[in-house]
Amino acid sequence: MREKPYHHGDLRAALLAAAEIELTEKGVEGFSLRSVAKRAGVSHAAPAHHFGDTNGLLTALAAEGFTRFQDTLDVREIGAVDARDRAIRAGFGYLEFALARPALFRLIFSSARPDYTSPDLIAAAKRAYDHLVGLVEALGGGEADVVALWSASHGLADLIMGRKLRPMVQKSQAEQEALVREVIGRALPRRAE
């Protein structure tokens, strides 16, 4: 069987898009370069040429994932009235990304497959972490507050994705949002009055 001719304008982007679909459908365990190439309609050697091996492609996808993650937070923060509102909106962005892209979320936050010594992945992850630190510092908080906000946002995302917060499911959308806002708000530092 002949491979389809390549018609993409940007092979790297096409391979990353195919890789995300592959990851979503098969998880890290079933992920393969050959399947990604087939999805992208290119030769089975094309992903290896661009990314080296499976872990190289997963590393590039994780870097892209962190970029999309941060972009989601940035969009959610538009229109914030103050630093506290901005941090709460970022928490909602965290949830939005996790629920919209659960496989990518797990890849960037739970998988050992990406190479976290990759300069691109380091830069993308650092951008997201530095943003988190900036949110907390704007509220006068420190390291423990960074951990608290990250833990609250991540814990909510993980529990909601896993459908473990059963009492929340029984609430209306407005009640759910109010509860999430309150939980994230409790994780934020409060300036001394």
Residues 64-104 pLDDT 10s: 999 999 999 999 999 999 999 999 999 999 999 999 999 99
Here the tokens at position 184 are 């994230």
Amino acid in position 78: I
- Dig out the tokens for 74 from the structure: 């940035």
Q: Read off the pLDDT band of 169 (50, 70, 90).
A: confident
Q: Topology of 60-187 in CATH?
A: Tetracycline Repressor; domain 2 (1.10.357)
The counts of H helices and E strands in the chain are: 10, 0
Could you report the per-residue pLDDT of 97-137, keeping only the tens digit for each?
999 999 999 999 999 999 999 999 999 999 999 999 999 99
- What are the residue boundaries of the structural domains of the chain, listed by start? 1-52, 60-187
At residue 167, the pLDDT reads: 80
Q: What is the pLDDT of residue 191?
A: 63
Residue 1's pLDDT band, with cuts at 50, 70 and 90, is: very low
Whole-prediction pTM: 0.90
Residue among 58, 49, 66 nearest 29 (CA):
58
Whole-angstrom distance, CA of residue 54 vs CA of residue 39: 15
The CATH fold of domain 1-52: Arc Repressor Mutant, subunit A (1.10.10)
